[in-house]
Amino acid sequence: MEQWTWPPRYDEGYRPADDQRYWFPRRETMPAEQRDEKILERIREVMAYAWEHSPFYRRKWDDAGIHPSSIRSLEDFGKVPVVRKEELRADQAEHEPFGSYLCVPGAEVKHVNGTSGTTGRPTAFGISERDWRSVANAHARVMWAMGIRPRDTVLVASPLSLYWGSWGAYIGGERLGARVFPFGAGQNGQTKRTLSWMRQMGVSVLYSTPSYALHLAETARSEGIDPASLGLTRMFFSGEPGASVPSVRAMLESKFGAKVYDSGSMAEVSPWMHLGAGQDEPGVFAWQDLVYTEVCDPGTLTPLPYGAEGTPVYTTLERTSQPMIRLLSNDLTRWEAPDAARGRTYPFLPKGIYGRIDDMFTVRGENIYPSAIDDVVMADADYGGEHRIVITRDAAMDTLAVQVEHRAGLASADHPGWTERLSARLRSVLGVGADVVAMPPNTFDRTDFKARRVIDDRALLREIQGGGPR
Ligand code: 8LH
């Protein structure tokens, strides 16, 4: 049952006993060094396969003077040039519709997903049936680690369209033997209907973005429903920071009275749940036998040791249709060495993914992530449900303001004290001050998907001054 081969082979009839902690005990708990040896073998196989089937990779590696046979260690692999999302986009524009990194005949592509294309040309994901099944099996395994079992009913409450997140959760739940409920999100009035369907169907597990779950909780309250009475036991999230941000996680847990699990990397490297929780604490494992993850210096792009902070670079080890070999994420994280005390012997990302490097901004020399601000304001007892982060340039100096909704019932006489308290907390966490502005409840739009809370006036200023958009 527990095969680990290239190309991957899965026994579709296999499922562990309900009380078994690990779906694949050997692959999940083997000594990390032994796993690394197998991973190196797999990387060589995947690279040889891509060399043979993909003009994109052959060209790229030829230009860098690299041949798959020259990769003799994971250190050698760390020198293979990274792939950037722009390269994939450009290659697809030239080689419609799936790019010259499609390694199977076009007729074998049985599923199409894609990026939403809000910035630049959308990218199409062409997925063979074999890859679709590998992703389903991998996701079933990670969802099993979250404690999801065949007795559960899993509600998928993210858009069921191009977004691979929703489909990945759906096929993982299906493979695991759970009852899966593709409700989706994003249509008018859908959030209220979600609540009534949840109750009728006895949904026990929710999948969505963290922001949407908070919106769902707020909508429930406005309908006179206590979210904790909905009967959820587990919630797993992807798509944006939140489930590993302490105050957001605490808010989700306390509102729904359910356990919270983080997961998710990038759609391109599905099974995206390869960054996925396997225990009841914040953070995610890097399930290295599914997608090999390196954390690299964002400037030099060289791999960094455990303990360091950097950007994840991903290599799919089970994908045959559009394999990704050293795809640069441009996100930021910190990773820790495998620790056998955790059971699974994978590297661990204790704070998950903090956010995109592009979303980081610098105010008076301090690098700031929106998720760090979320953590402070959402921990406050008088927080009203949404906020916006506004960065402006004032006489050549960047300044930060945070508009925060207060809870209904906070007297206006208490606003100055409250905003000062938040401002002081932000200063102690971020190292720079922020102007906190109290806003009435429900000032800001809620999201059905991934939150966009940063308003960057400097980008507008640069555009006006002729620099063009970021
Ligand atoms: C995250 C997280 C996370 C994704 N914590 N940031 O939903 C998972 C996959 C399918 C997904 O969202 O893919 P997509 O749409 O390509 O977006 C990828 C980006 O989303 C990724 O680079 C991160 O910036 C962010 N993201 N999951 C924090 N658990």
Give 199-226 pLDDT, tens digit per residue.
999 999 999 999 999 999 999 999 999 9
CA of 413 to the centre of ligand 1 (A): 41
Please, are residues 363 and 433 in contact by the beta-carbon 8 Å criterion?
Answer: no
Any domain includes 459: yes
Alpha carbon nearest to ligand 1 atom 17, residue: 266
CA of 181 to the centre of ligand 1 (A): 22
Please, are residues 158 and 151 in contact by the beta-carbon 8 Å criterion?
Answer: no
**Average per-residue pLDDT for the chain:** 94
Give the residue, out of 208, 273, 353, with the most ligand 1 atoms within 8 A of its beta carbon, to mutate for a pocket test: 353
Contacts of 350 (CB under 8 A, 6+ apart): 244, 282, 283, 334, 336
What was the pLDDT predicted at 469? Answer: 46
Number of domains in the chain: 1
Any domain includes 418: yes
Of 2 and 105, the structure prediction assigns the larger pLDDT to 105
Any domain includes 130: no
The residue range of the domain holding 379 is: 360-464
**Average pLDDT of span 401-419:** 95
Any domain includes 48: no
CA of 261 to the centre of ligand 1 (A): 14
Is the CB of 266 inside a 6 Å radius of any atom of ligand 1? Answer: yes
Q: What angle do CA 149, 314, 318 make, to 5 degrees?
A: 55
Which residues are 181's β-sheet partners?
155
Give the residue, out of 83, 211, 266, with the most ligand 1 atoms within 8 A of its beta carbon, to mutate for a pocket test: 266
Check whether 395 has a pLDDT greater than 80.
Answer: no
- Minimum mean pLDDT range among 22-31, 46-55, 396-405: 396-405
CA of 338 to the centre of ligand 1 (A): 23
Contacts of 349 (CB under 8 A, 6+ apart): 244, 275, 283, 284, 285, 286, 333, 334, 335, 336
Any domain includes 334: no
Any domain includes 369: yes
Tokens of 25: 């005990």
CA of 237 to the centre of ligand 1 (A): 10
Q: Kind of pairing, strands 454-456 and 383-394?
A: parallel
CA of 416 to the centre of ligand 1 (A): 37
Angle between helices 246-256 and 210-222 (to 10 degrees): 40
Check whether 263 has a pLDDT greater than 70.
Answer: yes
Q: What is the ipTM of this complex?
A: 0.99
Is the CB of 264 inside a 6 Å radius of any atom of ligand 1? Answer: yes
Question: Closest Cα partner for 255 from 232, 278, 283, 287?
Answer: 232
Of 368 and 319, the structure prediction assigns the larger pLDDT to 319
CA of 96 to the centre of ligand 1 (A): 25
Check whether 463 has a pLDDT greater than 70.
Answer: no
Cα–Cα distances (Å) from 242 to 125, 186, 260, 335, 378, in that order, read 26, 19, 10, 17, 11
Burial, 445: exposed, middle or buried (Cβ in 10 Å; 0-12, 13-18, 19+)? exposed
What was the pLDDT predicted at 462? Answer: 66
Check whether 444 has a pLDDT greater than 60.
Answer: yes
Tokens of 7: 């190309």
- Minimum mean pLDDT range among 114-123, 191-200, 383-392, 415-424: 114-123
CA of 167 to the centre of ligand 1 (A): 14
Is the CB of 356 inside a 6 Å radius of any atom of ligand 1? Answer: yes
CA of 351 to the centre of ligand 1 (A): 14
Decide: helix, strand or coil at residue 171: helix
Check whether 399 has a pLDDT greater than 90.
Answer: no
Beta carbons within 10 angstroms of residue 7's beta carbon: 13
Contacts of 103 (CB under 8 A, 6+ apart): 49, 50, 53, 54, 320, 321, 322, 323
Give the residue, out of 324, 331, 356, 453, with the most ligand 1 atoms within 8 A of its beta carbon, to mutate for a pocket test: 331
Any domain includes 413: yes
Q: For residue range 412-440, what is the model confidence (pLDDT) as tens digits?
A: 999 999 999 999 999 999 998 899 999 99
Query: Position 409: which residue type?
Result: G
What was the pLDDT predicted at 117? Answer: 67
Q: For residue range 279-323, what is the model confidence (pLDDT) as tens digits?
A: 889 999 999 999 999 999 999 999 999 999 999 999 999 999 999
Which residues are 186's β-sheet partners?
none
Peptide bond into 7 cis (omega under 30): yes
What was the pLDDT predicted at 405? Answer: 96
Give the residue, out of 171, 244, 265, with the most ligand 1 atoms within 8 A of its beta carbon, to mutate for a pocket test: 265
Q: For residue range 62-75, what is the model confidence (pLDDT) as tens digits?
A: 999 999 999 999 99
Is the CB of 342 inside a 6 Å radius of any atom of ligand 1? Answer: no
pTM metric for this prediction: 0.94
Cα–Cα distances (Å) from 16 to 1, 11, 330, 343, in that order, read 10, 12, 36, 17
- What CATH number has the domain bearing residue 451? 3.30.300.30
Any domain includes 76: no
User: Which phi and psi (to 5°) does residue 19 adopt?
Assistant: -90, 5
Label residue 364 by pLDDT band (50, 70, 90): confident
Q: For residue range 141-160, what is the model confidence (pLDDT) as tens digits?
A: 999 999 999 999 999 999 99
CA of 449 to the centre of ligand 1 (A): 11
Alpha carbon nearest to ligand 1 atom 12, residue: 239
What was the pLDDT predicted at 433? Answer: 85
Check whether 120 has a pLDDT greater than 80.
Answer: no
Closest atom of ligand 1 relative to the 352 alpha carbon: 5
Q: What angle do CA 64, 65, 67 make, to 5 degrees?
A: 110
Q: What angle do CA 237, 240, 244 make, to 5 degrees?
A: 65
Of 181 and 358, the structure prediction assigns the larger pLDDT to 181
Please, are residues 404 and 383 in contact by the beta-carbon 8 Å criterion?
Answer: yes
d(CA 333, CA 282): 13
Closest atom of ligand 1 relative to the 275 alpha carbon: 29
